[in-house]
């Protein structure tokens, strides 16, 4: 390490030794918010005991994107410097410095759990004659298993690649981190396309949680701002991902809300029509009884 690099790291550690309480509270709130935002999706899949309505490509791309994102922030020089500073600063400043990593780690863990629930509760149709025309075009069990296999394979590649770049070729670690960040951003952008297509095909949300999207859509922009403040312009590949995600998830949320409003309006009209027919028939039935 050069003298200039050592001084830069030392200055960074001195800066982290006195964490801003306001930023710390906001960061903790974001970690809790990320965890809470995914709970409705977990609960809906478990409660329905079905992952129908979730696109396999949406789940796969989200899992791989999350893996690339956590590998990105763990290998960024800014993050490794912060982690190294934990040897020189106290426990509280260390915890405050690593909250940015914790935020992405919690998000990755929650989406990985969605992937597992998607596989566990994937709908199975034992008899072909029980499959209606709409379900015939839905994903198969083999596709669901493929999602798990590819997710685990990429996790292994990202883990081994990060270890090699951090310890064997550290001079290229920023390029590796930026590659992972770009990959995560690109996959996050593509991720919502198959889910939008799936939701549009079904004309319903299925097991896709609207409350989750209501929390996450604005939260993505807050999250991006938090990471931008923590990592600065050099960490653009980390916080840029969440700006993309917020915009695309907002489109999916708008479509889902429209489907819900349409279905409720149709159900209300059907109830009113049924009540009207009942009112018309009641006097006739009453007269027949008297006669």
Residue-wise pLDDT for 7-24, tens only, equals 556 677 877 777 878 888
Averaged pLDDT for residues 112-132: 78
- Place 137 in a pLDDT band, splitting at 50, 70 and 90: low
**Mean pLDDT value across the chain:** 83
Give domain limits for the chain. 3-124+138-258
Residue-wise pLDDT for 56-71, tens only, equals 999 999 999 999 999 9
- Higher-scoring residue by pLDDT: 176, 137: 176
Averaged pLDDT for residues 91-98: 85
Q: Provide the pLDDT for residue 9.
A: 64
User: What is the DSSP secondary-structure string of the chain?
Assistant: --HHHHHHHHHHHHHHTS--HHHHHHHHHHHHHHHHHHHHHHHHHHHHT--TT--HHHHHHHHHHHHHHHHHHHHSHHHHHHHHHTTTS-HHHHHHHTHHHHHHHHHHHHHHHHHHHHHHT----S-GGG--TTGGGSPPHHHHHHHHHHHHHHHHHHHHHHHHHHHT-GGGHHHHHHHHHHHHHHHHHHHHHHHHHHHHHHTS-TT--HHHHHHHHHHHHHHHHHHHHHH-GGGHHHHHHHHHHHHHHHHHHHHHHHHHHHHHHHHHHHHHHHHHHHHHHHHHHHHHHH-
Q: pTM for the complete prediction?
A: 0.79
pLDDT over 70, % of the chain:
85
């Amino acid at each position: 390490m050069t003298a200039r690099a050592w001084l830069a790291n030392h200055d960074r550690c001195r800066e982290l030794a006195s964490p801003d309480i306001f930023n710390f509270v906001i960061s903790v709130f974001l970690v809790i918010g990320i965890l809470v935002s995914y709970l409705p999706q977990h609960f809906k899949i478990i409660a329905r005991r079905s992952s129908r309505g979730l696109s396999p490509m949406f789940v796969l791309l989200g899992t791989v994107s999350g893996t690339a994102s956590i590998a990105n922030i763990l290998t960024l020089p800014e993050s490794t410097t912060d982690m190294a500073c934990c040897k020189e600063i106290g426990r509280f400043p260390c915890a405050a410095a690593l909250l940015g990593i914790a935020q992405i780690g919690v998000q990755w863990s929650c989406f990985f759990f969605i992937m597992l629930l998607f596989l566990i509760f994937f709908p199975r149709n034992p008899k072909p004659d029980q499959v209606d025309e709409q379900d015939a075009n839905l994903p198969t069990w083999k596709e669901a298993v493929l999602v798990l296999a590819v997710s685990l394979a990429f996790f292994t590649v990202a883990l081994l690649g990060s270890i090699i770049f951090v310890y064997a070729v550290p001079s290229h670690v920023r390029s590796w981190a930026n590659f992972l960040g770009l990959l995560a951003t690109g996959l996050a952008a593509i991720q919502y396309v198959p889910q939008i297509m799936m939701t549009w095909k079904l004309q319903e949300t299925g097991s896709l949680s609207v409350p989750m999207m209501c929390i996450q859509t604005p939260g993505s922009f807050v999250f991006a701002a938090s990471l931008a403040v923590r990592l600065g312009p050099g960490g653009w590949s980390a916080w840029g991902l969440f700006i993309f995600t917020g915009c695309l998830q907002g489109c999916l949320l708008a479509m889902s809300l429209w489907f819900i409003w349409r279905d409720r309006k149709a159900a209300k009209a059907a109830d009113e029509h049924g009540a009207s027919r009942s009112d018309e028939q009641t006097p006739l039935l009453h007269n027949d009884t008297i006669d």
